[in-house]
Amino acid sequence: MIQFFRFLYVSLAWLLSGAVVAAQLEGVQVHAFASQGGILTSQNQFAGSTPGGAGFDARELGGNVSWQATPDWLVSGQLVSRRAGAMDNGAVRLDYAFVDHSLLENEQRNLGVRVGKVKNPYGFYNMTRDVAHTRAGIILPQSIYQDQIRNFFLAAPGVSLYGNEERGVDSLSWQVSVLHPEVNSANLTAYIVDPQSGHFNGRTSMLSQLLWEQDGGKWRAGLSLGQFDVHFQPATTDFFGMGSFAGAGDVKLNTGVLSLEHNREDWSYTAEYASTRQIRNNFNLPGALAIMDKDTTIEAYYLQSLWRFAPRWQALARYDALYLDKRDRNGMIFSAATGLPAAQRYARDVTVGLRYEPTPTWSLFAEIHHVNGGAWLSKLENTPATLTSAWDMLLLQAAWHF
């Protein structure tokens, strides 16, 4: 409870300081956001929840500032603190920070370049996932937007060239980024090479996106393509205190996302499909563990509908599926080779939810998940050997922004 009131105090302090700065500096915009969630799971753990008991360890606090120094130059950055069990410890960090220079701008097209820690163009939601009120539900579809590796996908140091073309009712935008992925995360290490101990180093990678919109967003379609390169450096000793059994390996993630959305007055329908091929080299795992060192293709997709059935009210329905190896969708080959639960390799999630906005700055969420599998659960919160396949989750959240 003390932590909760401290969280509210810091939120108000950020709000007041931001308002003062925005009022005093020309060309400066300041925004802030905060959320507090409650989580109840029947089995397994998510974002600090305890099976059979309510957890209130899911909090977000962020503030961003942008300065339009001249019509052609923009400076923008955001600090954030997230608390989500073993997935995030609440430390304040730089979410993104970049300098944006407009190279060309007129009524039909624009062209620009961003340098710094730039947001990654990936699917419909990655560029805006950091603020709760931009999300369709409390959590995004975890098949594609996994919270346990959020920081790896959200933004990265690099340079990004972007542009937009307007043709009648059609709009075509694109972005190409050369980046150095951020890999300083125990969750990322556990997700890719568990149970090996060590750390990753990022290497030069690329990510691009093409988005088309018609009639102000009535129809939207997108294609995101990327290649992430990371190098794994094993620890001197493994978790048993013995010599490491894995070699220094390389992982290449060749990923693509197809996105489609149709928006009507009261309804929105969204579908995304992602395929990510993991190419692994030089790990040289022994015996049965060699199955964890093979190339695999991760398959993920979701179907989602939003119904705005009354002013300030919105209902959500979603089916979300993730398979860590599309040639072993039920995980049985993996389980037979390692002795670990097959549920570690897949997740199928049926979600229904409600959203109410009592004011333009506040949003209240509630959603229920019925899940089969645990592929998107953090291994730092859930010991793979004790993972339960069928489980349910209730999420509640209050979110504020200005």
- Predicted local confidence at residue 353, as pLDDT: 97
- Predicted local confidence at residue 115, as pLDDT: 96
Distances from the Cα of 260 to the Cα of 71, 217, 265, 272, 301, angstroms: 33, 11, 17, 6, 12
Spell out the domain ranges in the chain: 2-401
Assign 69 to helix, strand or coil.
Answer: strand
Q: Which residue has 């990371």 as its token pair?
A: 230
The burial class, CB within 10 Å (0-12 / 13-18 / 19+), for 24 is exposed
- Predicted local confidence at residue 78, as pLDDT: 95
Total residue length of the chain: 402
- Predicted local confidence at residue 63, as pLDDT: 94
| Residue ranges in the chain whose pLDDT is less than 70 | 1-25, 195-197, 236-247, 284-293
- Predicted local confidence at residue 69, as pLDDT: 92
Assign 17 to helix, strand or coil.
Answer: helix
- Predicted local confidence at residue 237, as pLDDT: 54
- Predicted local confidence at residue 17, as pLDDT: 52
Distances from the Cα of 153 to the Cα of 126, 204, 226, 227, 262, angstroms: 8, 14, 11, 12, 25
Q: Determine the Cα–Cα distance for residues 396 and 137; give it in Å rounded to an integer.
A: 10
- Predicted local confidence at residue 300, as pLDDT: 98
- Predicted local confidence at residue 383, as pLDDT: 84
State pLDDT tens for residues 125-154: 999 998 888 999 999 999 999 999 999 999
Q: Determine the Cα–Cα distance for residues 217 and 211; give it in Å rounded to an integer.
A: 11
Q: Determine the Cα–Cα distance for residues 51 and 40; give it in Å rounded to an integer.
A: 7
The CATH number assigned to the domain with range 2-401 reads 2.40.160.10
Q: H helices within 261-360, ranges in order?
A: 332-338
- Predicted local confidence at residue 196, as pLDDT: 62
Q: Is the dihedral of CA 289, 292, 295, 299 positive or negative?
A: positive
- The angle formed by the CA atoms of residues 243, 382 and 150, to the nearest 5 degrees, is 90
